[in-house]
């Protein structure tokens, strides 16, 4: 048995969470409440230190210092105040009458990222993937690689046909779509099977902690 208080707390919390597997119970509810509260608080504090202080506070402070020391407006640093004002506008949601103003900062966020996503997805998901699928169908002297490459190209082609929305999946087209979803299912199965090891690792580590570190039953 461990004599470390931290270990005991951790063991209590671990068992509390795991008890959910049997059924919902007061100990799980307690752990859940602690978890939700502490994590929300943690998140808030991290945002405060990693975003608010460096991005808003420090920049505005610099701008004020420049204004006091040199008497000029440092527009670069002042501009971050604008970001802060947009952030405050977001809070106007809490005032029902003018809540709609919060759509402005929202529009800035959505607009910024929609432009970014458009390019990002088009380049790294569409163009780069097309480029990587361009492989020779025949590799001299390597039958395995040749067959593998042909299957990859056919599989990608059929998989794309499956994702066609505006054409009925009938006849040859439907057949290809079917082959496409077969390929997709193989991948899903493989990815499921592969993840089992990662998830079991997590449980093994927890059990090792409970049985070994806490109870001291191993070795």
Q: How far is the CB of 146 from another protein (least distance, A)?
A: 10
Give the C-alpha separation, 103 to 88, whole Å.
12
Extract the tokens encoding 48: 């405060």
C-alpha 92: how far from chain center: 28
Toward another protein, which CB reaches closer, 18 or 67?
A: 18
- Where b means 16+ CB within 10 Å and e means fewer, 93-107 reads eeeeeeeebbeebee
Toward another protein, which CB reaches closer, 64 or 139?
A: 139
Q: How far is the CB of 1 from another protein (least distance, A)?
A: 17
217: number of CA atoms within 13 Å, CB side?
7
Extract the tokens encoding 164: 């066609």
For residue 209, is it left (φ>0), alpha (ψ between -120 and 50) or beta? alpha
Q: How far is the CB of 179 from another protein (least distance, A)?
A: 10
Q: How far is the CB of 164 from another protein (least distance, A)?
A: 5
Q: How far is the CB of 66 from another protein (least distance, A)?
A: 13
The answer to whether residues 111 and 86 touch, using CB atoms and an 8 Å cutoff, is no
């Amino acid at each position: 048995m461990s004599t470390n208080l931290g270990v005991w707390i951790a063991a209590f919390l671990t068992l509390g969470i795991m008890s959910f597997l049997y059924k919902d119970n007061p100990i799980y509810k307690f752990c859940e409440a602690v978890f939700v509260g502490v994590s929300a608080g943690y998140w808030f504090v991290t945002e405060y230190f990693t975003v608010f202080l460096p991005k808003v506070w420090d920049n505005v402070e610099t701008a004020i210092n420049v204004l006091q020391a040199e008497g000029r407006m440092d527009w670069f640093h002042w501009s971050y105040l604008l970001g802060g004002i947009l952030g405050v506008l977001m809070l106007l949601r809490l005032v029902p009458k003018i809540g709609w103003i919060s759509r402005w900062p929202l529009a800035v966020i959505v607009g910024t990222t929609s432009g970014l996503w458009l390019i990002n997805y088009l380049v790294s998901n569409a163009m780069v993937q097309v480029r990587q699928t361009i492989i020779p169908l025949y590799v001299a002297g390597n039958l395995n690689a040749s067959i593998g490459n042909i299957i990859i190209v056919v599989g990608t082609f059929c998989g794309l046909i499956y994702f066609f929305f505006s054409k009925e999946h009938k006849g040859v087209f439907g057949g290809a779509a079917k082959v496409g979803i077969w390929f997709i299912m193989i991948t899903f199965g493989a990815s499921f099977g592969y993840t089992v090891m990662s998830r079991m690792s997590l449980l093994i580590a927890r059990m090792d902690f409970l049985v070994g570190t806490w109870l001291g039953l191993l070795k």
